[in-house]
Structure 1
Amino acid sequence: MSQPLSNALIERLQPVKLVVFDVDGVLTNGQLLFLPDGQEIKTFNTLDGLGIKLLHQAGLKTAIITGRSSSQVTMRAKALGITYLLQGREDKLDALTEIWKESGESARTTAYIGDDLPDLSAITTVAFGASVPNGHPLVCAEADWCTRRSGGEGAAREFCETILSAQGKLQSLLEAFR
């Protein structure tokens, strides 16, 4: 069960049209695994993938902004239909500003979830900034909301469903699975 939202946060979620995810620590558990040849391995949670697909079904755009670059993230983003993918970007707010210019969206229409200090400026700028319980303490303290699930363990799904619920779209999307 997700943390309840205040009426003020529900109101701030109403105009959200762009949902942005960090990767390491949010879509993954944050561990970096390397094979002997140096190839990196990332594991993603299928719960999160369906949450992102539900956002798309509801007409929301999605983005990934990550400080690292990985072919695995490229493949995952493509498989999920992520609208915008920016990799190798340590300044998350700068990257987000680029997406706003391209998409026509703004801080007022954006939700962002991240877990570490490079995410902080984006989290505190957008309409709804979230973190995960295993995120950096400062990030968790500054975020509007924190998931109950940890990064890589369904936190992104919880974030997606919270947005959709606040917008009154979740129930009809879930009914399609009955």
Structure 2
Amino acid sequence: MTDVFERAKKIKLLSCDVDGVMTDGALLFTSEGQEIKAFNILDGQGIKMLQNSGVKIAIITGRTSAMVENRAKNLGIDILYQGREDKINAIQDIANDLGLTLDQIAHIGDDLPDLPVIRKVGLGVTVPNGADLVKEHAHHCTTRAGGKGAVRELCELIMKAQDTLTAAHEAYLQ
């Protein structure tokens, strides 16, 4: 865990996959063909706290969904890449745009399209419901599953490593 904390201290951007990470990975459709996704409110609060601590958030997903666009907008996430199976190129574009090195980026993903990013960034994270090969290469695996607070857990880990979590919590203890 010490290595994970050392890596987390450097993070200036958290990149998140959606299906299987911000959701439980289930694809739900209405009888009219409209896609439905269930996002976890704990993740949203974690993202907001991490943003308030100065860390930027990005979403990179292989699928395209109006639901994801709405969720990103709701959380104030303006770095959104949808329909991108080439996530390593997307993360390099984001790094270049923000003037970051890859070791200043954390990525949380669950499946093979996330693997190149997880292997290259400073903090590559997966979830317990992730693919075995991804778990083998990630620096860390959350205890909470995707869609069940995994993103919140990672946000708090980063904030704890950067010594910003206590201040974020104190705002709610008044």
TM-score class, shorter-chain normalisation, is over 0.9
Asked if the contact 2:118–2:138 (Cα under 8 Å) also holds between the matched residues in 1, the reply is yes
Structure 1 equivalent of residue 18 of structure 2: 23
1:135 counterpart = 2:130: yes
TM-score, normalised via structure 1 length = 0.95
Partner of residue 31, structure 2: 36
Q: Equivalent residue for 1:86?
A: 81
Q: How many Å apart are 1:36 and its aligned residue?
A: 1.1
Report which stretch shifted further, 117-126 or 9-18.
9-18
Moved more, 10-19 or 111-120: 10-19
The residue identity in structure 2 corresponding to 1:31 is A
Distance in 1 between residues matched to 2:65 and 2:125, nearest whole Å: 24
Structure 2 Cα separation of the partners of residues 124 and 28 of structure 1: 22
Aligned to 2:71: 76
Shift of 1:83: 3.3
Contact 1:49–1:157 at 8 Å: present in 2 too?
A: yes
Deviation string for 1:79-114 (max 9, x for gaps)? 101130000000111111111121111211100000
SS in 2 for 1:23: coil
Alignment match of 1:58 (pick from 36, 41, 53): 53
Contact 2:61–2:81 (Cα < 8 Å) also in 1: yes
Cα deviation, 1:12-37, whole Å, max 9, x if unaligned, reads 22221001000000000000001111
Name the count of aligned residue pairs.
173
2 CA distance for matches of 1:88 and 1:100?
19
Contact 1:28 1:42 survives alignment (8 Å): yes
Q: Partners of 1:52 and 1:131 in 2: how far apart? A: 17
CA–CA distance in structure 2, aligned partners of residues 15 and 130 of structure 1: 15
1:121 Cα shift? 0.4
Offset, 1:157:
0.3
Q: Alpha-carbon deviations, 1:95-136, whole Å to 9, x = none?
A: 111111211112111000000000000001001000000000
Shift of 1:10: 1.7
Q: Which runs of 5+ in 2 are unaligned?
A: none
Q: CA shift at 1:9, angstroms?
A: 2.3
User: Quick check: 1:116 aligned with 2:116?
Assistant: no
Question: Is the CA contact 1:134–1:151 (under 8 Å) kept in the aligned structure 2?
Answer: yes
Instruction: State the distance in 1 between where 2:13 and 2:54 align.
Output: 10
Conserved 8 A contact 1:61-1:83: no
